[in-house]
Amino acid sequence: MALDKHQIRRNIAWRVAQELNDGDVVNLGIGMPSLVANEIDCDIELILQSENGLLGIAGLADIINTDLDLVNAGGQPITAAIGASYFNSADSFAIIRGGHVDVTVLGALQVDEQGNLANWIIPGKMVPGMGGAMDLVVGAKKVIVSMEHTAKGKHKLLNHCTLPLTATKQVNMIITEMGVIEITPKGMLLTEIAPEYTVEEVQQATEATLIIAENLRVIPFPE
């Protein structure tokens, strides 16, 4: 049975959350990555950071708890954890550029087999700017791309990115509705696959040639 858009996005967010560990300082990007905040296991204690100046996000806010003065970098209402710290954007980027972020989770337009990332502009379309992505992917210790595997049937996992790059050779892992892919010196390594897909289907949706892990696992998505 085909999954709806909501379930696909939640599955991706849940799988990203499994990569986060106690004590991590984590930055969640705009869009799908922000959903990860609500999928983190209650037994995991980590610190969510927002580049607009907050250390200690509790999660996305519901209608009852919405405070329009408390938002993440994408303008979504959020809640603050007990002990959260507020500061200006310059201090926030000092944290990022100083290498104090353990994991950053971002969306992408394209990723290639060398770990190059294009996620900020499509030529000819107006955008306000690159934002914090350029600093995050270079400053964070681990970079996870969270996205749908294709865009309107077009490949997003490529041999070589064709859109303007955000950064070169910085992506460590890609998590999509189809599986988990690690960037290695030899290329894209498929380590986990979603139960709805076959290896052949994942490869067909990927321009780059996938290396299949010997111990390829099926992702145990929650019911």
Which contiguous run of DSSP H or E holds residue 14?
helix 5-17
Residue 211 in contact with residue 186, Cβ under 8 Å? yes
Q: Point out the catalytic residue in the list 19, 51, 192, 207.
A: 51
In our burial notation (b when 16+ CB lie closer than 10 A, e otherwise), range 122-143 reads eeeeeeeeebbbbbbbbbbebb
Q: How far apart are CA 25 and CA 22, in angstroms?
A: 9
Residue that the structure tokens 């696909």 belong to: 8
* Alpha-carbon separation of residue 19 from 31, 36, 119, 195, 201 (angstroms): 18, 11, 21, 19, 25
Annotation says 51 is catalytic: yes
Q: How far apart are CA 133 and CA 120, in angstroms?
A: 8
Known catalytic residues?
51
